[in-house]
Structure 1
Amino acid sequence: MILSVFLGIDIGTTAIKLGLIKENELLYSSELLLQTYGDDRIKYQDGNELLAILQAGLLAIPIELRQQVRTISFSTAMHSLMPDDGRKQIFLWSDLLAATSIDRFKQMDLAAHFYKLSGTPIHAMSTFAKLLYFQENEIYPAGIHWYGIKELLMEYFTGETVIDYATASATGLFDLREKQWSEEILEFLGVKPDQLASLVDTDQCFEMLPDKRDLFGFTPDVKVVVGASDGTLAAYASYYSTGRTASLTIGTSAAVRQITKRIQLDQKKQNFCYYLKEGLLVSGAPSNNGGVVLAWAANHLTENPARFYKRLPKLLSETETGANGLRFWPYLNGERAPYWSNEIKGGFYDLTLQHTRNDMLRSVIEGVLLNIRRLVELVAKGEELSVSGGFFQTTELGQLAADVFGVKCCYAQQNEPIFGLYYLLEQPELMIEESQQVFLPDLSNHAAYDQIAENYFD
């Protein structure tokens, strides 16, 4: 008997990741780079190009593995918007066309109300903001359909234009309590419900189109499950595999997430709260400024950027906690939580002639972590964290994070959306094991960072 194989497809902002899993083991994986077009304001992908890259990636999977696939499901990046005008131009979360429109909207009383309805922060990243901009400027015909990456994939594989609750709940158009498009929000935008995709739960199954089955060599009994969004699935992967509800990922950007059974919203700081599955939501706070800031420091403050991470252990051992009083605001890429501003800027503070290049490098790292510390306290204060991302692959950075946050940090390799999909849909039996890499806070260092954090961003 051939055991069935699960195929997870994760469409991110920079790459498509494919993963085939059987009995909790990853059999095959690949990463296919995606091109983002535009400039400092406009950020979009070509949907036709995305589908072509995905098709080539699937055909590169050995045919004997493709013939064992019984379930296919999708993780997609949040906040995308694709006007259905035939061009398949997908505007991404990083697109800033709507910045001015959303800043005006923030001054209205409706902003707080819509945040409470949808659980989506009021920011230029959201589908709501993009729609607001396009509608205000009458860029597209009044009756045009509005879709996103998930709808593009579902239409390609099944012929059905649908979106799951999890991805929909990050659009800013979804009523989180009623699990339907918000009539109130759509009326404000001048958009009718039938201009959007149909809504389904994250475990809804569909038949694959026969021509796609034949193209990829899948069997007639293969099923397509709509899946969820990448952020919610990353959080679920951590929860399912480690038992911890709180997780932190620091890659290019960063996000703290918490699995919860009730809607958790903070009007002032605007954490997000998105649907995951029946009875579970994901609350969290994202930062634009994670590894991208360290990359900037490596390129501009070091003589040999390629050796930056190898030099970090020596750098941290030779510099003092607090970088000799030097502070660094890491907002080189604007910021989402807790500011939700594209205009905020970064920089060094209290810089003197006595400070060295190593002090500057240490302050950059500390500034990134002290900013994330505020998100940890907003979403998961005092809780153990399941951590992942390239940042934590440098042991000394993982230890520094634990010292700054003051909590146990356990590295978890499974914090990937594809495993989140697998756990969500297959519900396999797992033996929860303690992470082999655990970072325990040094109490004296944490006390020092407690004091530093009091006025760091004043």
Structure 2
Amino acid sequence: MSQRECAIGIDIGTGSSRAAAFDLGGRLLFSQAEEYPLSYPRLGWAEQDPEVVLAAVIKALKDLTARLAEHGYRPLAVGLSSVFHSVLPLGKDGRPLANCLPWADSRSTQIVNAWKKDPAARAWYARTGCPLHPMYLPGKIAWWHANEPELFARTARFVSLKEYIITRLFGLPWVDYSVVSGSGLLNEEKLTYDDDVLTALGIGPERLSKLVPTKTVLGELSPEWAAATGLPPGVPWVIGAGDGALSSLGTGGVTPGILTAMIGTSGAVRLASPVPRVDPKGRTWCYHLTEDCWLLGGAINNGGIVYRWLRDGFVPDALRSYDALNTAAARVPPGSAGIIFLPFHSGERSPYWNADARGIVFGLGLEHTAAHLARATMEGITYRMYSIFQALEELAGPAREVRASGGFARSALWLKIMADVFGRRVYVPTVSEGSALGAALLALIAVGALPDLKAAAQLVSINAAYEPDPENHTLYQELYALYTSIYFKLQDEFAALARFRERENKESACH
């Protein structure tokens, strides 16, 4: 059998890593995923074992390459996508000194809150494109400095999960501009580490990775790693970008006017810009894809993870499958019979950047069922996304359409809710693995198989479209106004409850 060419995209995510293969027309051939957990050792803390993540990447890739070989495909290139905002300390031997802190870790909240009162720290956003928030690396590195000074002193290099995997597979201390643009450490105008931020953290650039473009070819795997992954010799790896940026590419959203909306474990809304831009109100971030494509956007902590929380803990056994729960929720009218759900379960990011906020169910009555709560959860998460949509349109101009990706794009009900809340047509690409496809497409550009981003985006095909209903949009506008009002009226209460949690956390740590 003659071999056919394909490209592989590896997406290193929060709860799983996926290896997916695509033909040169952007069509999905095969996909393999391996899951892994987050651990929550204390309130507000989240950690991840980087060795478990590396093993998952290798396992997913090995399973994928076996299927490719069976069907006569040869990879032309491999591209890497990874979650933003992770960090772990490496010793001089390149091995972890502690677990990785993912985006969900908020142990540095007090440090970041103090920075918000400091004019010098507040000025970082204008240069880095990253608002002051515990998910970004400055707070996490500062927390280690303040609370684990010996570990901080022993750390040779602070790296993301992606950098750790590159270090292990290739021995290269490199990071792409995209991943670091989501760290809070990069001066986006100069494309260098920001001197003021590093000085405040007490580190120099030698304790960080070398900055390289997203189309940089890492090289080939060693014979040992090639055998472990099942890849044939000679396949080039491309460093790639962050998952959100590559999701925009993989859904065709790399030109102005096309909004991309992703809801997986978390969620994000993005608009493309040819140059980096920051919001005067500090509501959004700005991340890098390539030298002439930046993604303006915002992200929410509480996406599909909240829907799963509801399913696992609060619905009867008959509704424990997503299909059954979605079917029940679809029978509930828009507006969920007056329930307004504010999904701030683990604090929140864009556009309010309030790590102290917590979840609220408003309007609950005896007439409501698990199905009402399920639909209200979908609506509440979509309201969160809509608040970012409003900020982006104010900053970058109107969006004419939405491209949807992530787990929610498999739910016709949720997609219709988004169309009605946003008042825009929502398109669903044929390939749901947007970040993996984006990684594969960027790899093809890097090795010369595709000319540019525009040509890559044209390979994205559309599977379905959802039209907004004007009456439903009007109803949701009314409920969204209530949703926003409830949130802003409870700022003092959020702060008071955060102080209570912090006290309880300290007391539990002493026992």
TM-score w.r.t. length of structure 2: 0.82
The number of aligned residues is: 457
Greater helix share, structure number: 2
Per-residue CA deviations over 1:54-97 (Å, capped at 9, x if unaligned) read 33343332283798334222111111112113335322111222
Give the conservation status (yes or no) of the 8 Å contact 2:342–2:359: yes
Displacement, 1:172? 0.5
SS in 1 for 2:151: coil
Match of 2:120 in 1: 110
> Does residue 398 of the first structure (1) align with residue 415 of the second (2)?
yes
Displacement, 1:38? 4.0
> Does residue 119 of the first structure (1) align with residue 129 of the second (2)?
yes
Match of 1:265 in 2: 278
Match of 1:441 in 2: 468
The counterpart of 1:87, out of the listed 74, 91, 96, is 96
Match of 1:48 in 2: 51
Match of 2:151 in 1: 140
Cα pair distance change 1:196/1:352, threshold 3 Å: same
Amino acid at match of 2:209: A
Unaligned ranges ≥5, structure 1: none
The counterpart of 1:277, out of the listed 290, 302, 318, is 290
In 1, Cα distance between the equivalents of 2:221 and 2:399?
Answer: 49
Higher RCO structure (Cα 8 Å, ≥6 apart) = 2
Cα pair distance change 1:109/1:211, threshold 3 Å: same
Displacement, 1:406? 0.8
Give the conservation status (yes or no) of the 8 Å contact 2:87–2:101: yes
Cα pair distance change 1:355/1:209, threshold 3 Å: closer
> Does residue 417 of the first structure (1) align with residue 435 of the second (2)?
yes
Match of 1:386 in 2: 403
> Does residue 310 of the first structure (1) align with residue 324 of the second (2)?
yes
Give the conservation status (yes or no) of the 8 Å contact 1:44–1:92: yes
Q: Alignment identity in percent?
A: 25
TM-score w.r.t. length of structure 1: 0.90
SS in 2 for 1:75: strand
Displacement, 1:43? 2.2
Cα pair distance change 1:84/1:264, threshold 3 Å: same
Match of 2:509 in 1: none
Displacement, 1:241? 9.1
Q: Which moved more, 1:428-437 or 1:143-152?
A: 428-437
Cα pair distance change 1:189/1:325, threshold 3 Å: same
Matches within 5 A, 1:322-333: 322-333=335-346
Match of 2:189 in 1: 177
Give the conservation status (yes or no) of the 8 Å contact 2:319–2:325: no
In 2, Cα distance between the equivalents of 1:313 and 1:334?
Answer: 29
Cα pair distance change 1:83/1:453, threshold 3 Å: same
The counterpart of 1:343, out of the listed 340, 356, 372, is 356
In 2, Cα distance between the equivalents of 1:139 and 1:9?
Answer: 35
Amino acid at match of 1:79: H
In 1, Cα distance between the equivalents of 2:416 and 2:284?
Answer: 26
In 2, Cα distance between the equivalents of 1:393 and 1:49?
Answer: 28
Cα pair distance change 1:19/1:315, threshold 3 Å: closer
CA RMSD, 1 decimal: 2.7
Give the conservation status (yes or no) of the 8 Å contact 2:9–2:438: no
Give the conservation status (yes or no) of the 8 Å contact 1:254–1:289: yes
Displacement, 1:104? 1.4
SS in 1 for 2:100: strand
Cα pair distance change 1:173/1:205, threshold 3 Å: same
In 2, Cα distance between the equivalents of 1:255 and 1:398?
Answer: 15
SS in 2 for 1:407: coil
SS in 2 for 1:43: coil
Q: Which moved more, 1:273-282 or 1:26-35?
A: 26-35
Match of 1:246 in 2: 259
Unaligned ranges ≥5, structure 2: 486-511
Q: Which moved more, 1:105-114 or 1:214-223?
A: 214-223
Amino acid at match of 1:234: S
